[in-house]
């Protein structure tokens, strides 16, 4: 895939403003797209879009194929006639600074349940036919997901391994009984997924028409408590009751002295290979409907992954196990064609990982927060060491904000190094790094919205290895309407030639 010289903003849709406690695919998403266009940006990068569960992490989704119903715009349901203005007239006093998932979730699902009831009361034959055709097209994952969600809710949200054995291990008679008993709720989850898909595809079309590409995020691993593992247990290393025998994570690194024990089950790659990686190709194909480019989180796992015995409480004890490597992507390319993939190549990256990345010409990542600990000038994250086929970030969703990083994490040696490198006093570290990223030779530059706004550590999106308080940051209305920030970003985008190129005018005869 050809990556033009471009730039953009990292902002998860849940962080958008709005009156319903969480950002969605409604008015403020369209306003954000307009903001990007006005600032000369052509990239909107976001986190995974799947439904979240305990902990609210988009990287531990209940499905690798489903969309998050909390991103469904209630206002657009009013426009469609599935809700009334009276339904949404009185809204709880949600915070405009953070997502309070404990209160947001029940409110939204109450509204979505009303929309479901109204749809099947009011929808005309044509709309019902569109809905039915979409449901049939997506049945390969949708049927299992809707049943999984209905069962999970019937068991008070408990993980599927804690359900009665017949339901947990998918005994046919138990599932048939559940389908009869939970028919209404199964129908609701079908409907919610159709709403998400319809609204999101309309938003994507709007962005694409303004020349803005969406970069999505795809975690290499899936959550154990997901419809994917429940419906396809043979594809994962599980015991006879469905519990993982080994789990995923990373050894000790920059982010954690004990590593990160994610807890995701590992794939039976040999079994996937025998099926020509069909589940994976369907997953990538599905994600690439919603976004134009996909960043694969923990890309290095395709070369080798850290395998931790499930009995271990941390990630310190484990072993590297070979992944599917180049043959996997060759099969995927044969089935899907062009692979608009970005490789998350951070952390302990070996020449073998780089070989896979470079074999398929996947862009890698350069993060400027990581550039200043080495005074030799050889650090690969320093701007003069960037390569063209890279996406350059000030920081990522796992980093502190740049202001927070400057206050809490930068040593005196690092401050000195950055000052010598820039030959100036550092009074606005966030704009220093934004300017540096935009000036890089890397074809794409991206900054988190928090860095553009100069926000501190209280506004970071995630702190790896911590429990609670993550994934909740929201942008305020006045911050999105800040023309000074927008114009300054456009200025850097102009001088570093990242504005979209105008199409050439036809020659006159």
Does residue 160 contact residue 151 with C-beta atoms inside 8 Å? yes
Instruction: Tell me the three state secondary structure of residue 457.
Output: helix
User: For residues 383 and 434, what is the distance between their CA atoms, to the nearest angstrom?
Assistant: 12
- 113, with CB counted inside 10 A (0-12, 13-18, 19+), is middle
Closest CA to 208 of 415, 11, 42: 42
Does residue 222 contact residue 287 with C-beta atoms inside 8 Å? no
Q: Which of 297, 303, 345, 451 is catalytic?
A: 297
Q: Which of 225, 344, 345, 451 is catalytic?
A: 344
Pairing of strands 260-265, 43-45: unpaired
CA 310 vs CA 100, 161, 256: distances in Å = 31, 15, 19
Q: Is 344 a catalytic residue?
A: yes
Q: Is 253 a catalytic residue?
A: no
Q: What is the DSSP string of 144-200?
A: HHHHHHHHHHHTTT--GGGS-HHHHTT-HHHHHHHHHHTHHHHHHHHHHHHHHHHHH
Print burial letters for 193-208: b (CB count within 10 Å at least 16), e (below 16). Answer: bbbbbbbbeebbeebe
User: For residues 125 and 266, what is the distance between their CA atoms, to the nearest angstrom?
Assistant: 45
Instruction: Tell me the three state secondary structure of residue 445.
Output: strand
**Torsion sign (Cα): 489, 492, 495, 496:** negative
Q: Which of 24, 56, 398, 451 is catalytic?
A: 398
Helices (H) and strands (E) in the chain, counts: 19, 12
The answer for residues whose C-beta is within 8 angstroms of residue 124's C-beta and 6 or more apart is none
Catalytically active residues, by annotation: 297, 344, 398
């Amino acid at each position: 895939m050809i990556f033009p010289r471009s730039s953009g903003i990292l902002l998860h849709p849940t962080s958008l403003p709005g009156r319903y406690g969480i950002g969605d695919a409604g008015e403020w998403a369209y306003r954000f797209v307009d903001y990007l266009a006005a600032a000369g940006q052509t990239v909107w990068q976001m986190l995974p879009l799947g439904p979240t569960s305990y902990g609210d992490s988009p990287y531990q989704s209940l499905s690798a194929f489903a969309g998050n119903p909390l991103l469904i715009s209630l206002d657009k349901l009013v426009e469609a006639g599935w809700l009334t203005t009276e339904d949404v007239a009185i809204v709880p006093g949600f915070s405009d600074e953070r997502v309070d998932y404990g209160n947001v979730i029940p409110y939204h699902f109450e509204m979505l349940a009303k929309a479901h009831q109204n749809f099947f009361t009011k929808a005309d034959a044509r709309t019902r036919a569109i809905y039915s055709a979409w449901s049939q097209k997506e049945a390969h994952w949708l049927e299992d997901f809707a049943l999984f969600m209905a069962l999970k809710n019937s068991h008070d949200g408990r993980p599927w391994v804690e359900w009665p054995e017949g339901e947990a291990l998918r005994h046919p008679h138990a599932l048939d009984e559940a389908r009869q008993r939970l028919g209404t709720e199964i129908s609701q989850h079908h409907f919610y997924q159709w709403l998400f898909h319809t609204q999101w595809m309309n938003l994507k079309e709007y962005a694409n028409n303004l020349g803005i590409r969406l970069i999505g995020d795809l975690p290499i691993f899936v959550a154990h408590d997901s419809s994917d593992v429940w419906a396809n247990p043979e594809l994962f290393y599980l015991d006879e009751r469905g519990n993982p025998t080994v789990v995923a994570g990373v050894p000790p690194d920059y982010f954690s002295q004990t590593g990160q024990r994610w807890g995701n089950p590992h794939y039976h790659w040999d079994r996937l290979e025998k099926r020509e990686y069909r589940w994976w190709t369907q997953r990538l194909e599905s994600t690439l409907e919603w976004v134009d480019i996909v960043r694969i989180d923990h890309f290095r796992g395709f070369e080798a992954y850290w395998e931790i015995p499930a009995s271990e409480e941390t990630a310190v004890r484990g072993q590297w196990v070979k992944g599917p490597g180049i043959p996997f992507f060759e099969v995927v390319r044969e089935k899907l064609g062009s692979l608009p993939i970005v490789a998350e190549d951070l952390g302990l990256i070996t020449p073998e990982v780089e070989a896979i990345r470079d074999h398929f010409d996947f862009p890698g990542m350069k993060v400027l927060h990581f550039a200043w600990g080495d005074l030799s000038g050889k650090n690969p994250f320093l701007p003069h060491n960037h390569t063209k086929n890279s996406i350059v970030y000030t920081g990522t969703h796992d980093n502190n904000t740049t202001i927070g990083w400057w206050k809490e994490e930068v040593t005196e040696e690092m401050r000195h190094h950055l000052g010598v490198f820039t030959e100036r006093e550092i009074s606005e570290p966030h704009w220093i790094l934004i300017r540096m990223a935009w000036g890089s030779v890397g074809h794409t530059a991206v900054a988190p919205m928090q860095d553009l706004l100069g926000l501190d550590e209280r506004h970071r999106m995630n702190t790896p290895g911590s429990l609670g308080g993550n994934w909740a940051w929201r942008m305020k209305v006045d911050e999105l309407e800040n023309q000074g920030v927008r114009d300054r970003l456009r200025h850097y985008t102009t001088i570093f030639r990242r504005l979209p190129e105008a199409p050439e005018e036809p020659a006159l005869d």
